[in-house]
Amino acid sequence: MKKILFVCIENSCRSQIAEAFAKIHGSDVIEPYSSGSRPSGIVNPKAIESMKEVGYDMSTHRSKSLTDIPDIEYDYVITMGCGDACPFVKAKQREDWGIPDPKDMDMEEFRKVRETIEEKVKKLI
């Protein structure tokens, strides 16, 4: 099982969605984690609603900081475009997906971001 950490700033939208899609599409090959460099403390209700539309219940997820996740070397650390706000985490490989933060987008735009994340997660798997 490859250990993959998805990181964004608040751990309320992008990284949560990526973690969810990794569970949906890669549960047999990926052990996914997500966290935020400055977690908001909540998962964005739009993210929960958006994932409900594709049959995934994200209501049990919680916003986590980098100190809330295992202190291990991850196989991959995927950042979501948070730049300098993402501190160093031990990883064999790193990749930045440069995905815009959808928190202030309308639901149609939010869904497009969700679909982009799903495509990227599938490619990663």
Q: Which residues are catalytic?
A: 8, 82, 86
Q: What is the 3-state secondary structure (H, E, C) of the chain?
A: CEEEEEEECCCCCHHHHHHHHHHHHHCCCEEEEEEECCCCCCCCHHHHHHHHCCCCCCCCCCCCEHHHCCCCCEEEEEECCCHHHCCCCCEEEEEECCCCCCCCCCHHHHHHHHHHHHHHHHHHC
Q: Which of 65, 62, 124, 121 is nearest to 89 (CA)?
A: 65
